[in-house]
C-alpha cells in the first residue's frame, strides 16, 4: 500500500470509493459537488491524501481549508471532512494513518488548528488521534405555531445585494470574537453557489444581511439563521419587521440561531432560552503557541453546518 497526495485525476476514483464506503445517504457523492467543495473554495484547494493498492484507491482523507479572524489576527485552519476506507480494507488502521500523516503535513505547512463536528460514532476515534472536545454549540431556539403562506417571497437573487457583499468582503468589516474571515468570494461560494442547499436572505441592500435556510426535520420545519452581518447604524426596525414577517409566513415550527453571536437587541424576539443542542465541536491543536480551545469563538450555524 502506498500513501500519496491526491490529485484532480483521482476524483472519479475518490467519488466511487465514497459511494462504496458510505453509500448515497446524507451528502451527495458527485464530481461536481467535490469540485465545488474542494477546488472552488476561496480559502484554497483542499489537501487530500489517498491510500493506493494495486493502482486502486482504497482510502481517502480530506481537510477543507478555512480561515478565521479576530479583528486583525488571522487563524489558518482546516476542517476535517471527507474520509473513507473501502469496506474490504477497513480495520487495518488506514483511516488513522491517513489522518495522522495529513495532520503532520498541515502542521509543517503552518496551519494552526483543525476543527470538525464528529458524530457519536466517530468522536472517540478523533479523541484517540489528538482531537479535544470543545463542546456543543449553544443554540437560541424560538418555538412557534406553524402557518404557511404561498404569498411570502424568499429572496434568492444574490445579484441584488452584490454591492453589499463587496463591502462585507473588502477587509473593512470587523466583529468581536473569532469568526470566519470574510475574504472576497466567500459568501458567494458558501451560500449563493452551494449546490445542495438553497439559502435565502433578508437585507436592505446597504447595511445588513441575514442569511437563512428552511430545513425539514423529524421535529418539523426549521428556520435556521446561518449568518447575520450588520454595519454600524443599520436599519434595525426594517430588519425586525422583515424577520417577523419571515417567521410568521415561513411555515416553520421552530427558529434557530447560534447562541454565540445572537444579539437579542437586533432581532427583538424577547427572551429565548440558551440550549446546548447544537453540533458537537472538536479541535486539534497544531502549533505550540496557540491552544484553540481558549479562543473567543463566535461560530455561526453556517460555519458548522455539515456539507
Per-residue pLDDT of the chain (307 residues; tens, 9 = 90+): 999 999 999 999 999 999 998 877 667 789 999 999 999 999 999 999 999 999 999 999 999 999 999 988 999 999 999 999 999 999 999 999 999 999 999 999 999 999 999 999 999 999 999 999 999 999 999 888 776 655 677 888 999 999 999 999 986 677 889 999 999 999 999 999 999 999 999 999 999 999 999 999 888 899 999 999 998 889 999 999 999 999 988 889 999 999 998 887 888 777 787 888 899 999 999 999 999 999 999 999 999 998 8
Cα-only R_g, the chain: 20
CA 57 to chain centre: 27
Residue 307 is predicted with a pLDDT of: 82
Burial class (CB in 10 A: 0-12, 13-18, 19+), 296: exposed
pTM for the whole structure: 0.93
Q: What is the pLDDT of residue 200?
A: 96
Whole-number pLDDT of residue 154: 86
Amino acid at each position: 500500500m502506498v500513501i500519496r497526495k491526491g490529485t484532480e485525476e483521482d476524483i472519479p476514483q475518490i467519488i466511487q470509493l465514497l459511494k462504496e464506503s458510505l453509500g448515497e445517504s446524507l451528502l451527495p457523492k458527485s464530481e461536481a459537488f467535490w469540485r465545488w467543495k474542494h477546488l472552488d473554495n476561496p480559502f484554497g484547494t483542499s489537501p487530500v491524501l489517498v491510500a493506493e493498492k494495486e493502482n486502486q484507491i482504497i482510502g481517502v482523507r480530506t481537510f477543507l481549508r478555512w480561515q478565521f479572524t479576530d479583528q486583525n489576527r488571522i487563524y489558518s485552519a482546516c476542517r476535517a471532512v471527507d474520509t473513507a476506507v473501502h469496506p474490504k480494507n477497513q480495520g487495518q488502521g488506514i483511516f488513522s494513518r491517513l489522518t495522522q500523516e495529513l495532520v503532520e503535513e498541515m502542521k509543517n505547512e503552518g496551519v494552526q488548528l483543525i476543527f470538525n463536528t464528529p458524530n457519536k460514532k466517530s468522536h472517540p476515534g478523533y479523541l484517540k488521534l489528538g482531537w479535544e472536545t470543545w463542546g456543543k454549540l449553544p443554540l437560541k431556539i424560538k418555538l412557534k405555531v406553524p402557518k404557511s403562506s404561498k404569498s411570502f417571497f424568499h429572496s434568492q437573487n444574490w445579484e441584488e445585494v452584490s454591492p453589499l457583499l463587496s463591502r462585507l468582503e473588502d477587509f473593512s468589516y470587523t466583529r468581536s470574537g473569532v469568526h470566519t474571515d470574510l475574504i472576497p468570494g466567500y459568501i458567494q461560494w458558501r451560500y449563493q453557489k452551494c449546490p445542495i442547499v438553497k439559502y435565502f436572505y433578508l437585507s436592505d441592500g446597504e447595511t445588513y444581511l441575514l442569511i437563512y435556510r428552511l430545513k425539514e426535520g423529524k421535529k418539523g420545519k426549521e428556520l435556521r439563521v446561518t449568518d447575520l452581518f450588520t454595519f454600524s447604524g443599520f436599519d434595525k426596525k426594517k430588519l425586525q419587521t422583515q424577520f417577523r414577517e419571515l417567521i410568521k409566513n415561513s411555515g416553520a415550527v421552530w427558529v434557530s440561531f447560534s447562541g454565540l453571536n445572537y444579539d437579542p437587541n437586533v432581532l427583538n424576539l424577547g427572551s429565548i432560552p440558551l440550549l446546548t443542542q447544537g453540533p458537537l465541536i472538536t479541535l486539534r491543536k497544531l502549533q505550540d503557541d496557540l491552544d484553540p480551545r481558549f479562543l473567543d469563538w463566535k461560530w455561526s450555524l453556517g460555519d458548522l453546518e455539515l456539507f
